[in-house]
Structure 1
Amino acid sequence: MNSLAKVAPDQSKSWDFVYRELQRQIIAGQLRPRERLVEDEIMARTEATRHAVRKAFDELERMGLVVRQPNKGVQVRDYSITEIEELYEIRECLELRAAARFSRPADQALVDQLTEIASQHRDASRAQRFGEVFSLNNDFHEVLYRSAGNQQLADAILHYTFATHPIRTRAFPNEELREIAITEHFAMIDAITRGEGQRLGELIHSHITRPKEFYLRATYIQDSL
């Protein structure tokens, strides 16, 4: 008898537990682009119910980490090189436009809020709590762009940020890149404190480009070896 069949679903294992475990594996590269997520295997591995696994899939899809393919089920999201370049061209246009709106020193309340998020992100990053890094990084950028004064622009940035989650998170396990991201977050806060929109734009350009280049090297160069 298959030993997996002996494991009874644990009602206490919530969908959030399954979601965070799968999220961690995707971010850490343990689940690779195009890899299929099979309900029965995940139920056996996590001891969760089918309902919990399916709800976790729904949340992963909402966050842009997986896609549902006809006749293929749920897969870790993947992009062609052309799609990656196109997505990041749009992101850069949108985010640099938002940066240009910070032409005056930001309110102290915004500076304090971003500093608190950046500090929590730094601590989570150095402790390698990648689920928290993921959430706090999203929080930092959403608060920043919501403060640019154009909510439609902020919504568009959020949309394309979600679309590139699998690309951005691939770099999280790399300590050097995490430290650079920490430094850039605090530099962005300094830029808006001084009302230096151009400097903010330069920081944003490097901030979003570096994970893209890491993903391309890790996914396409390594896979071709």
Structure 2
Amino acid sequence: MTRHSSKRDLGVFPHAELPVAVAAVIEAIEMDIIRGHILPSTRLIEDHLMEDYDAKRHVVRAALVELQRLGVVVKPPHLGARIRRFDAQSLEALYHFRAVLHRAAVESIALPVPGERLHAVRAAADAHALAASSGDLIAIHRANMAFHRLFFGLCDNPYIEESIRLHDWLSFPARAYAITDQTALSTACAEHAQMVEALEQRDRLRLLDLALGHMLQARRIYEGKYLSR
């Protein structure tokens, strides 16, 4: 099977290009997580996934391997593949580390940002806002991650960039539910625009506040759904 990625996946997945069939199953699983059809700790049974997504077993297995590599799927001993679920302690630890990474990235951004790179970040913010208005959930998810990749990539530290990218994926099972929340989505679009504005104004303190606060709404939604019961 020819290995290539769809155009809207380019620069978003932190992994090598995948066969189209495998990428399609991954996208289908992502969509079902976003929609709440697959919940945290849900067991992912190969036979069910093959039927649900009309995919061959080796394709489903490859998709699960990739999602496990990204941290979206976990495989506890003797329990099979499951969607990652965060308890209060692990969620706190994850968001603490994401805050450390985001702070390090923003503090490393050289201001002023060159015009061409600033334009690319602004275009990514606009693309996310356009996706948000379209209602295409996967497009919203991809555009959001693409914005983060370009924004935090301004730090020009490949180790920080890669760590942020990987933890964006690791946190996906917690962040996913904000994608269908219209208030959270509108806030995210507004914050992206404010981050671009702060870059233009060379306001590092505001950038720090925005980058750290940007994560909190999705976290609160997850806590409300799964940690307040």
TM-score normalised by the chain length of structure 2: 0.85
Superposition deviation, residue 24 in structure 1: 0.1
| Alignment check: 8 A CA contact 2:50 2:60 kept | yes
| Alignment check: 8 A CA contact 1:23 1:60 kept | no
- Equivalent in the alignment of 2:153: 146
Q: Which has the larger radius of gyration?
A: 1
- Work out the CA distance in 2 between the residues paired with 1:99 and 1:52: 39
- Equivalent in the alignment of 1:109: 116
Q: Does 1:22 align with 2:21?
A: no
- Equivalent in the alignment of 2:179: 172
- Work out the CA distance in 1 between the residues paired with 2:54 and 2:167: 34
- Work out the CA distance in 1 between the residues paired with 2:163 and 2:52: 37
- Equivalent in the alignment of 1:99: 106
Instruction: Give the secondary structure class of the aligned counterpart of 2:178.
Output: coil
Superposition deviation, residue 14 in structure 1: 2.0
Runs in 1 of length 4+ with deviation above 3 angstroms? none
- Equivalent in the alignment of 1:212: 219
- Work out the CA distance in 1 between the residues paired with 2:70 and 2:222: 18
- Equivalent in the alignment of 1:10: none
- The correspondence for 1:50, drawn from 57, 64, 68, is 57
- Work out the CA distance in 2 between the residues paired with 1:66 and 1:210: 23
Instruction: Tell me which moved more, 82-91 or 151-160.
Output: 151-160
- The correspondence for 2:132, drawn from 122, 125, 132, is 125
| Alignment check: 8 A CA contact 1:95 1:204 kept | yes
Matching residue's letter, 2:173: P
Superposition deviation, residue 184 in structure 1: 0.6
Instruction: Tell me which moved more, 127-136 or 152-161.
Output: 152-161
Instruction: Give the secondary structure class of the aligned counterpart of 2:36.
Output: coil
Superposition deviation, residue 77 in structure 1: 0.8
- Equivalent in the alignment of 1:4: none
Superposition deviation, residue 94 in structure 1: 1.8
Name structure 1 gaps, 5 residues minimum: 1-12
Matching residue's letter, 2:49: I
Superposition deviation, residue 103 in structure 1: 5.9
- Work out the CA distance in 2 between the residues paired with 1:27 and 1:205: 23
Matching residue's letter, 1:128: G
Matching residue's letter, 1:139: A
Superposition deviation, residue 46 in structure 1: 2.1
- Equivalent in the alignment of 1:161: 168
- Work out the CA distance in 2 between the residues paired with 1:131 and 1:99: 27
| Alignment check: 8 A CA contact 1:102 1:192 kept | no
Instruction: Give the secondary structure class of the aligned counterpart of 1:89.
Output: helix
Q: How many residues align?
A: 210
- Work out the CA distance in 2 between the residues paired with 1:41 and 1:103: 49
Q: Does 1:33 align with 2:40?
A: yes
| Alignment check: 8 A CA contact 2:31 2:138 kept | yes
Q: Percent identity?
A: 25
Matching residue's letter, 2:66: E
CA RMSD of aligned residues (A): 1.7
Superposition deviation, residue 180 in structure 1: 0.4
